[in-house]
Structure 1
């Protein structure tokens, strides 16, 4: 096994401030960035804070930014970098720093609670659900999400404009709305819930300008923009500007 010395800059600090710290560390063949962070902890900075769990790209815990790009530390191989390159590891920029590489991502869980869950069809028991395979496949893509929140971090609506967070759910949760709205058994409409309207009015669908940056960083290769956000936008626009819906709203307002 061959090895070499790599130069790392790892952000150290907390909510009060901080900056990059320099480390020279040994790298072995086949290692990923998380291995190197662990080696830095073991040999040079035992108090370095980093969040991780599965080390298999399935828990989403070790999200950070490597050379400015949102990535999973455990899925970023050292072999993709030039051996002479300085590798910079920083916390997710869109969320408040707790300490070092650990950020407070509670914003995402708050947004998750704002999305109304699946509404079961009233006349069917759970064992009686029947769906076409193509509908299963469409929803299944979105369920591959590991909630790493890299898409939330890279979305410039959240990343560059803190004031938008109150009105914008972000791509991960608009994808959840799209999944439910596309679900053939979701009875939200019968329960009085218009998912297309709430996506636009309550979750900030109009803020998304489909730059596809969320899709580019997704470690599960979910086509968030093409398969979720754009179809949801189309459905919301069709609903809002449907002439029959417009006429019905006019009539209801007149009766009121």
Structure 2
């Protein structure tokens, strides 16, 4: 079946813009990105939109559909009523470049600030050995496609621009948690305590675990429960638990 849908699409650039109304054909099985492409092909050839795989695996087509951060390629038109107005706007947390394309370089800047995996000393690359049970907790976080929807919906940066300098956001705090849980990461041997760094350098304390990041993750990663809360617990234990603090001060016996 085919019906005509009413779309409101944000058009503009760094100097400002507003919502424009369009009537566009919708076919069974289509997603919002299909409709945006049809608008480009039939009515607004200069409409700017970022996309790549159209399979929910590249994270490029992130936008806000009826106010909710979503991947346009994974948002089926069937979830809307035929007479419902569908509003598509750019990610609110990041500066607009043009139309639906935003400048997400903030996220790449934060990624560079997270210290990389530190290989264990004396173990050549290619000879790392881990049991599956040791990596199950952090393996979930590897599903991240870096759509930055969690970054967009996190109110710490969405509603408080001033926090961006000191808060990494859920995606990169999850990255720190992944490394902190990695059975072979040897950062502590070089004096880097990742949980403490998350708290002191990346703004972990700003997170008040509202779980909004978890709710909109297209990969269904339990960001809050499995990454952020455990990371908070490790940071607090190290700082306030006297036994943990004492243990951290005792040097490991050298063989």
Query: 1:230-249 maps to which residues of 2 (within 5 A)?
Result: 230-244=229-243
Give the secondary-structure state (helix, strand or coil) at the position aligned to 2:151.
helix
The answer on 1:32 being equivalent to 2:52 is no
**Residues 188-227 of structure 1, C-alpha deviations (whole Å, 9 max, x = no match):** 0001111111100000000000000000000000000000
**Contact 2:135–2:183, Cα closer than 8 Å, also in 1:** no
The answer on 1:181 being equivalent to 2:180 is yes
**Contact 2:237–2:244, Cα closer than 8 Å, also in 1:** no
The aligned residue for residue 157 of structure 1 is 156
Give the secondary-structure state (helix, strand or coil) at the position aligned to 1:119.
coil
The CA RMSD measured in Å over matched residues stands at: 1.5
TM-score, structure 1 as length reference: 0.95
Separation in 1, partners of 2:248, 2:104: 39
The aligned residue for residue 196 of structure 1 is 195
Give the secondary-structure state (helix, strand or coil) at the position aligned to 1:185.
coil
Separation in 2, partners of 1:160, 1:148: 19
The aligned residue for residue 207 of structure 1 is 206
The aligned residue for residue 104 of structure 1 is 103
Q: CA deviation at 1:242?
A: 2.4
The aligned residue for residue 254 of structure 1 is none
The aligned residue for residue 53 of structure 1 is 52
Give the secondary-structure state (helix, strand or coil) at the position aligned to 1:209.
coil
Runs ≥4 in structure 1, deviation > 3 angstroms? 244-250
Separation in 1, partners of 2:125, 2:198: 27
Unaligned runs of 5+ in 1: 251-256
Q: CA deviation at 1:134?
A: 1.8
Unaligned runs of 5+ in 2: 250-255
Give the secondary-structure state (helix, strand or coil) at the position aligned to 1:126.
coil
